[in-house]
Amino acid sequence: METIDILNVSVIEPRFKHPTIFLKFDSLLPGESFIIHNDHDPKPLYYQLIAERGQIFTWDYLENGPEIWKVKIARKNSGEGEEETIGEIVTRDFRKAQVFKKLGIDFCCGGKKTLSEISKKKGISIEKLKADLDSVSSAEITSGGLDFDKVKLDFLSDYVINAHHGYVRENIPFILELANKVARVHGVNHPEVVKVAEVFSRIAKDLSLHMTKEEVILFPYIKELVNAERTGIQVDLKSFGSVTSPIHVMEMEHEQAGEDLVEIRELTSGYALPVDACNSYTILYKKLEEFENDLHKHVHLENNILFPKAIKLEKQSSIKAALKSNK
Ligand SMILES: [Fe+2]
Ligand SMILES: [Fe+2]
């Protein structure tokens, strides 16, 4: 009988949970799988896996709460999209090109070669190659080859919550702590870091509230619209009226967050480190830049895809009729 490894995630220290699961997943050969046990729904991990590894795995709930969640995660067989070539990896995430470039690997003409072929040819271990590629992934959440223009809006809402709201919530406390520490230690010689801490603390407060509004008011309504389109079930009239009202507010808040991040970029002269920068200083600037990149992607998904499509969906005649009949 086949034995499958079980990883009890609930006993792993929080900051090591996801890295441990990723390590386990990366060690799987095509067709192999493992099972995770957890004390809450590990859905955020599903979206993180899609974001960072692409759709190269299957995800099956063996038990779905309410006390324990068991999920079987399997790496798909080569025929199902595994054994990615260098070209595919770069196409999926162009930033990975820099890893191949640095190692002197031709990702354009040699793009049809797989990672294991490259590893043999260049005498670089597959683990080293994967670690270098992963370090690019973990620096910024990527789209993992998803065509966001084609996904359903309920999926997109969940993706935004899990990948981007999750990222913001996870990183705010760490960046705040670092910013305050750097301001305390270096504020005398570099007064701009005191201002950076102030502006970031405003961003943190504003964004937390902003995301809650999206999660509690706007996104559930967008999901209702998707459901109405799918089932014909009428949409209840909301106190805010049309979807354009909360969207307008969200867009103004995005603009404010964007301006605040521009202010930080200007204060730090584009995250340029002074010669006396210590480790915390260096990490702070790195994290701020990563945070800015993530927010750009996050806001792009909302402003350019989710919001205009939600407005269009609401305007569709069947839903409009349902809205009217509720008035
Ligand atoms: Fe958002
Ligand atoms: Fe937003």
Domain residue extents for the chain: 5-78, 84-139, 153-325
**Residue 299 Cα, ligand 1 centroid: separation in angstroms?**
7
Q: How far is the CA of 115 from the centre of ligand 2 (A)?
A: 37
The dotted CATH code for 5-78 is 3.30.110.40
Cα–Cα distance measured from residue 318 to residue 218, given in angstroms and rounded to the nearest whole number:
20
Radius of gyration of the chain measured on its C-alpha atoms? 22
Predicted local distance difference test score (pLDDT) of residue 107: 54
pLDDT at position 300 is: 87
- Residues having C-beta closer than 5 Å to ion ligand 1: 214
Distance 88 CA to ligand 1 centre (A): 29
Q: Which ligand is nearest to the CA of 156?
A: 1
Closest ligand to the CA of 157 = 1
Cα(45) to centroid(ligand 1), Å: 18
Question: What pLDDT shows up at residue 142?
Answer: 45
Quote the pLDDT of residue 100.
Answer: 74
63 - beta bridge partners?
Answer: 70
Question: How many whole angstroms separate alpha carbon 113 and alpha carbon 122?
Answer: 12
Ligand 2 centre and the CA of 157: distance in Å? 10
Q: Which ligand is nearest to the CA of 158?
A: 1
Q: How far is the CA of 165 from the centre of ligand 2 (A)?
A: 9
Which pLDDT value is given to residue 82?
40
**Ordered per-residue pLDDT tens for the chain, 327 residues:** 567 899 999 998 888 888 899 989 988 888 899 999 999 999 888 878 877 777 788 899 999 989 999 999 999 875 443 467 776 676 566 567 667 767 766 554 455 677 877 777 778 887 788 878 877 654 444 455 577 888 899 999 999 999 999 999 999 999 999 999 999 999 999 999 999 999 999 999 999 999 999 999 999 999 999 998 888 887 878 888 899 999 999 999 999 999 999 999 999 999 999 988 888 899 999 999 999 989 988 998 898 889 999 999 998 855 555 555 555
Output the CA 122–ligand 2 centroid distance in Å. Answer: 44
Ligand closest to 307 (CA) is: 2
Q: Which ligand is in closest contact with the Cα of 164?
A: 1
φ and ψ at 34, to 5 degrees? -145, 165
Listed in sequence order, the residues at least 6 apart from 31 whose beta carbon sits closer than 8 Å to its beta carbon are 74, 75, 76, 77
pLDDT for position 1? 52
Looking at residue 138, what is its pLDDT? Answer: 46
**What's the farthest any 2 CA atoms get from each other in the chain?**
70
Ligand lying closest to the C-alpha of residue 162: 1
